[in-house]
Structure 1
Amino acid sequence: MTVTILVVSSDFAFWKVGDGDPGEIFDGLADGATDTLEPHPDVAGFRSELLWRWPDLVDVLEPSEHDLVDSPEDAAKYVLLTLPVRMLGHLDGIYELARQYKLRGYSGVADEAF
């Protein structure tokens, strides 16, 4: 008997100021391209509050603390979350927080901007 374990996750990206199509910005972030985004204090505030409310997001959040050593300005450019199924319960609160900060974004699972 073979048992297969399927791990499913959903990607969500958030930013404040960016040039271009949201889907292309999202795809670029997956490849580490942040040049279409501009830093904004609301993104850094969103990131900080996310981690304060849900510390377990630290393992699924980009840019990671390690990434910020080389590119500290990215903390104010974007937040990319790869949420495993067990964390999708946070999603309504995450979206509400993003609305409070008036962030734009993209859902990879829905393949649409928000």
Structure 2
Amino acid sequence: MSYDLYFWPSGAASNPRRLAERLADEKGGDLLPDQRVLSFRAELLRRWPGLADRIAPWHHDLGSRQPWGRADLADRFVGVTLPYGWADTSVLPALAGAFGLDSYDPQVEQLLSAWARPQDRRVLDGLAQVGGWVGEEHLVRLLRQISTYIGYAYDDLDEAALTGALEGTNDEAADGWFDYPLAGTPPLLILLAQPPGSAVVSVRVEGTMDLVLATRIETLLDIL
């Protein structure tokens, strides 16, 4: 058995149930093209390549797979058909929300909250650390957004503590990182360093993260 989920630009549907029914018939004329939809689709296929056999509408990113249906809707919505018990279902609304998309479940006829947590709150192996990089000009935005995710009141005192923190750092040296705690729930340790001669900042986020939180932070690092 399987079930469907739909994703479209946030706020685009005044009647989500009716829109989902139209999209099931590939009638997406009410939706405008939106680059965020393509970016979300690309991220889905990057994280879960097996979704290439379960994603709609057809797009050239599916490679040699035989085209089906309309080929002009991929920048308007994403639909996936998943088997019951698919492990990462609860992550998808959070990931979609990070790209500015709504998530709709036609089985329960409801929009899904981007802030929903999975019922299984286990910490999964490999998610104790998330890494990436951002431009130096986006560092404060990154820290403020991560703080929002964990309920930490990031303020001007935090910014003052970070002033000049990157001077002398080196992401190629084990002892070349500056670390800063964010005392939220869960508490996270942010490690920052700059590659020699670079204007970007390497970032590592360490802590007890479930899959949803780790996905949000990883996506944030990807889009900043």
Report TM bin, short chain. 0.7 to 0.9
Q: Which runs of 5+ in 2 are unaligned?
A: 60-66, 113-224
Q: Does 1:13 align with 2:3?
A: no
Q: Which has the higher helix share?
A: 1
The one-letter amino acid of 1:10's match is Y
Once the two structures are superposed, the pairs formed by residues 62-73 of structure 1 within 5 Å of their partners are 62-65=56-59, 66-67=67-68, 70-72=70-72
Superposed displacement of residue 105, structure 1: 2.8
Alignment match, 1:83: 82
Which structure would you say has the larger Rg? 2
- Taking only aligned residues, the RMSD between alpha carbons, in angstroms, comes to 1.8
Question: Higher relative contact order at CA 8 Å, sep ≥6: structure 1 or structure 2?
Answer: 1
Match of 1:105 among 90, 103, 106: 103
Secondary structure in 2 aligned to 1:99? helix
With structure 1 as the length reference, what TM-score do the two structures score?
Answer: 0.81
The one-letter amino acid of 1:21's match is N
With structure 2 as the length reference, what TM-score do the two structures score?
Answer: 0.43
Question: Hey, which bits of structure 1, 4+ residues long, moved more than 2 A?
Answer: 17-20
Superposed displacement of residue 20, structure 1: 3.7
Q: Distance in 2 between matches of 1:60 and 1:80?
A: 8
Q: Distance in 2 between matches of 1:20 and 1:35?
A: 14
Note the alpha carbon deviations across 1:27-71, whole angstroms, 9 max, x for none: 001111101111111100000000000000111100123248x53
The answer as to whether partners of 1:13 and 1:79 remain within 8 angstroms in 2 is yes
Alignment match, 2:49: 55
The one-letter amino acid of 2:41's match is R
Q: Distance in 1 between matches of 2:39 and 2:4?
A: 20
Aligned-pair identity (%) = 30
